[in-house]
């Protein structure tokens, strides 16, 4: 039984009485508390480490440990079995350490008894650090450096998505808000002036301003003119940033803007399908990424319909979880028609007092979907093929130059992303971050594109040396 589902608005009593077994999990997590993007390099803080470790511990207690509520069928409860877990994160000082911290919570040190080995000659070897377990994490080039950038567009380097996001800055909605909030932002200047100049303290930089003040509210004991920051003011700073970021990540009438969410959706299906196709071989897939990927997916999956909170930027250590489960006998691995999927979200650090809640996907009302309905719902917006990506993005050079003949079959490997059908890692560059940085600096669009091209090239070089699937960046 799922305690989370008890919280769900749309829980059906009949479901809670069925004998349910969880067979697989896909988790997409935001990093823990970090330093401000306005004071790079941005790093994970001690608080962030403990937040993410707390989340990992909760997931262990829920899905892995003996006696847990929803122990995954066949999961190794104590000593990690590497083949059962696929973890990946961009290589940086925030998301990568967060992923490692989460895994420490998931599979903590096993102690002296389990953490030892007897050699042929009888010598007993103790594992260091009380049986610490080492879990490899795949690096993804997408999102690399994202936590050092003030604004994350979250669209990879998809040409049409960049154009679409930038269109927001030309929309009447944006212009009106920028104008009407000018006085509000000016009033914040005494708080931020040591770092953010007056001509950048405006709605155009709503996230950077929010981020700087949010970090200060957590860490700075001597915020200048802190009396300005009443609860109402703080809420307004956050809400303006929410609006700004959501509109850059998703637009209902311009779906290309949400390319990050579309590629994420494809990865989620691929990851769960790896569990299905492998009959449970790799039941856990964990990815770390930034909030832009969340927001873009929220829009595409119509989660804003389920709860308007989904318009907001998710807090640190937030998680999206997809449970693959069955109500049939879990062994042998059930047929696809006996599989279901449930989406759960938790805003911020998960712990025993605050746990993920199930929400209905795709604007319908059932928090559980059959595997087939889930796949077809996701595939309405998922983009998982190089050729489809290139076509939708309007890209025809670089990795897209060779994709005129469409690759057949989508990658089911989930963990590699290097097959012919999958989106290459080079596609998931960091241009989004560059774009915004450029916006902040007041640089023209042409220059952003040039900067983006350079970044992509660097990523391509790196991609050759790395394994791991692309993570939607943001
Ligand atoms: C967990 O359960 C398995 C299977 O029943 C058992 O072999 C193992 O010893 C248990 N581990 C702990 C720590 O109780
Ligand atoms: C047993 O083998 C290990 C590893 O080769 C070695 O370090 C250790 O000294 C050996 N112990 C004895 C008693 O030979
Ligand atoms: C901005 O707001 C002022 C009033 O506060 C108004 O006079 C002006 O026309 C507005 N400009 C735009 C571009 O909306
Ligand atoms: C920031 O604003 C405060 C209050 O207006 C002022 O005293 C201070 O000199 C300013 N600091 C900078 C670096 O501009
Ligand atoms: C913390 O407050 C001090 C003023 O006491 C200010 O100079 C500094 O920039 C602030 N740092 C952050 C990260 O807010
Ligand atoms: C502001 O919010 C904080 C945290 O939610 C709360 O503890 C405090 O009482 C609030 N202050 C006022 C004046 O409402
Ligand atoms: C998460 O919490 C923040 C406030 O802490 C809120 O602004 C945002 O809308 C929430 N997001 C979701 C998806 O619940
Ligand atoms: C979201 O769900 C609502 C209610 O079911 C529906 O009217 C709307 O068309 C959906 N929007 C999208 C983008 O799917
Ligand atoms: C919700 O979905 C599950 C799984 O597909 C199904 O068994 C159940 O009947 C559905 N409930 C409703 C009200 O559609
Ligand atoms: C799952 O993987 C299998 C094996 O690679 C493939 O045939 C099937 O089409 C995939 N299904 C989905 C929904 O991606
Ligand atoms: C797609 O096009 C944009 C704009 O021309 C470019 O910046 C980006 O690098 C291209 N992406 C790829 C993967 O070729
Ligand atoms: C902001 O002002 C500084 C100097 O005061 C100037 O160098 C910079 O170009 C301005 N930036 C924008 C975006 O206007």
Mean pLDDT (whole number) for 320-336 = 93
**Nearest residue to 357 via CA among 398, 309, 289:** 309
Mean pLDDT (whole number) for 3-31 = 65
pLDDT reported for residue 79? 93
pLDDT reported for residue 310? 96
Distance CA 450, CA 438 (A): 11
Given a contact cutoff of 8 angstroms between Cβ atoms, the answer to whether 148 and 208 are in contact is no
Distance 67 CA to ligand 1 centre (A): 9
pLDDT reported for residue 164? 87
Task: Tell whether 119 is covered by a domain.
Answer: no
DSSP state, residue 407: P
- Give the residue with greater pLDDT, 149 vs 344: 344
pLDDT reported for residue 143? 55
pLDDT reported for residue 113? 84
Ligand 8 pocket, residue 252 CB under 6 Å: yes
Task: Tell whether 113 is covered by a domain.
Answer: no
What residues have CB less than 8 Å from 127, skipping those under 6 apart? 109, 110, 115, 116, 117
**Total number of domains constituting the chain:** 1
Flag whether pLDDT at 175 surpasses 50. yes
Pocket of ligand 10 (CB under 6 A): 269, 273, 277, 375, 410, 412
Please report the atom of ligand 10 found closest to the CA of residue 379.
13
78-89 confidence digits (pLDDT tens): 999 999 999 999
Q: Which two tokens stand for residue 253?
A: 């009438």
- Give the angle 60-276-410 at the CA atoms, nearest 5°: 120
Ligand 2 pocket, residue 123 CB under 6 Å: yes
Given a contact cutoff of 8 angstroms between Cβ atoms, the answer to whether 407 and 387 are in contact is yes
Please report the atom of ligand 5 found closest to the CA of residue 36.
13
Please report the atom of ligand 4 found closest to the CA of residue 194.
13
pLDDT reported for residue 420? 35
Distance CA 333, CA 354 (A): 32
**In CATH, what number is assigned to the domain containing residue 263?**
3.40.50.1240
pLDDT reported for residue 207? 93
Closest residue to atom 13 of ligand 9, CA basis: 366
Looking at all shown ligands, the one closest to residue 428's CA atom is: 11
Task: Tell whether 270 is covered by a domain.
Answer: yes
409-468 confidence digits (pLDDT tens): 333 323 333 333 444 433 333 222 222 222 222 322 222 233 332 322 223 323 322 322
Q: Which two tokens stand for residue 354?
A: 């605050």
Sign of CA dihedral 117, 118, 121, 122: positive
Closest residue to atom 14 of ligand 12, CA basis: 199
Please report the atom of ligand 1 found closest to the CA of residue 65.
1
Ligand 11 pocket, residue 400 CB under 6 Å: yes
Mean pLDDT (whole number) for 299-305 = 95
Backbone angles phi, psi at 448, to 5 degrees: -60, -45
pLDDT reported for residue 404? 52
Which SS3 state, helix, strand or coil, does residue 356 take?
coil
pLDDT reported for residue 433? 28
Please state the pTM of the whole predicted model.
Answer: 0.83
Distance CA 68, CA 459 (A): 41
Task: Tell whether 446 is covered by a domain.
Answer: yes
Task: Tell whether 460 is covered by a domain.
Answer: yes
Flag whether pLDDT at 109 surpasses 90. yes
Distance 383 CA to ligand 10 centre (A): 15
**Nearest residue to 261 via CA among 306, 215, 208, 320:** 320
Distance CA 323, CA 3 (A): 14
Mean pLDDT (whole number) for 127-138 = 92
347-404 confidence digits (pLDDT tens): 999 988 899 999 999 999 999 999 999 999 999 999 888 888 888 888 888 777 875 5
Ligand 2 pocket, residue 117 CB under 6 Å: no
Ligand 8 pocket, residue 366 CB under 6 Å: no
Range of the domain at 321: 19-105+129-474
| Summary mean pLDDT of the chain | 80
Looking at all shown ligands, the one closest to residue 75's CA atom is: 1
Ligand 8 pocket, residue 380 CB under 6 Å: no
Q: Which two tokens stand for residue 357?
A: 């809640």
Pocket of ligand 5 (CB under 6 A): 36, 39, 194-195, 215-216, 220, 222-224
Task: Tell whether 297 is covered by a domain.
Answer: yes
Ligand 7 pocket, residue 315 CB under 6 Å: yes
> Which residue among 265, 410, 417 has the greatest number of ligand 10 atoms within 8 angstroms of its CB, and so is best to mutate?
410
> Which residue among 218, 293, 347 has the greatest number of ligand 7 atoms within 8 angstroms of its CB, and so is best to mutate?
347
Distance 177 CA to ligand 8 centre (A): 26
Distance 15 CA to ligand 9 centre (A): 8
- Give the residue with greater pLDDT, 215 vs 13: 215
Flag whether pLDDT at 108 surpasses 50. yes
Task: Tell whether 112 is covered by a domain.
Answer: no
Flag whether pLDDT at 472 surpasses 60. no
Task: Tell whether 2 is covered by a domain.
Answer: no
């Amino acid at each position: 039984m799922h305690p989370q589902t008890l919280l769900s608005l749309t829980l059906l009593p009949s479901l809670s009485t069925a004998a349910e077994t969880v067979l697989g999990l896909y988790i997409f997590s935001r990093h823990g508390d970090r330093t401000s993007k306005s004071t790079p390099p941005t790093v994970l803080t001690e608080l962030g480490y403990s937040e993410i470790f707390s989340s990992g511990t909760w997931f262990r207690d829920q899905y892995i440990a003996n006696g847990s509520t929803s122990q995954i069928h066949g999961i190794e409860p104590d000593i990690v079995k590497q083949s059962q877990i696929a973890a990946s994160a961009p290589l940086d000082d925030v998301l990568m350490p967060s992923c490692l911290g989460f895994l420490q919570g998931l599979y903590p040190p096993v102690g002296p008894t389990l953490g030892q080995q007897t050699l042929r000659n009888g010598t007993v070897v103790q594992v260091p650090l009380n049986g610490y377990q080492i879990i490899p994490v795949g690096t993804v080039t997408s999102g690399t450096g994202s936590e050092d950038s003030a604004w994350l567009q979250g669209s990879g380097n998809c040409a049409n998505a960049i154009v679409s996001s930038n269109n927001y800055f030309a929309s009447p909605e944006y212009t009106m808000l920028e104008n009407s909030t000018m006085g509000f932002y000016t009033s914040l200047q005494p708080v931020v002036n040591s770092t953010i100049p007056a001509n950048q303290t405006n709605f155009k930089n709503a996230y950077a301003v929010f981020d700087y003040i949010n970090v200060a509210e957590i860490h700075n004991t001597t915020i200048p003119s802190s009396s300005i920051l009443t609860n109402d003011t703080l809420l307004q700073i956050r809400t303006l940033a929410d609006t700004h970021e959501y509109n850059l990540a998703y637009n209902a009438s311009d779906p290309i803007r949400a390319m990050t969410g579309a590629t994420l959706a494809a990865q989620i299906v691929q990851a769960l399908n790896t569990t299905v196709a492998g009959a449970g071989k790799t039941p856990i897939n964990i990815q770390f990424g930034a909030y832009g990927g969340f927001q873009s997916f929220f829009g595409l999956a119509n989660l804003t319909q389920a709860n308007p909170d989904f318009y907001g930027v998710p807090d640190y250590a937030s998680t999206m979880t997809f449970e693959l489960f069955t109500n049939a006998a879990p062994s042998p691995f059930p047929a696809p028609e006996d599989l279901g999927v449930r989406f759960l979200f938790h805003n911020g650090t998960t712990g025993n007092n605050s746990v993920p809640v199930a929400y209905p996907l795709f604007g319908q009302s059932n928090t559980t979907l059959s595997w087939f309905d889930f796949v077809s719902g996701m595939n309405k917006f998922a983009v998982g093929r190089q050729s489809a990506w290139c076509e939708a993005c309007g890209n025809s050079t670089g990795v897209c130059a060779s994709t005129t003949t469409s690759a057949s079959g989508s990658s089911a490997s989930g963990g590699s992303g290097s097959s012919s059908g999958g989106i290459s890692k080079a596609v998931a560059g960091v241009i989004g971050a560059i774009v915004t940085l450029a916006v902040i600096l007041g640089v023209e669009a042409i220059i952003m594109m040039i900067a983006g091209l350079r970044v992509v090239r660097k990523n391509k070089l790196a991609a050759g040396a790395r394994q791991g699937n692309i993570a939607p960046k943001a």
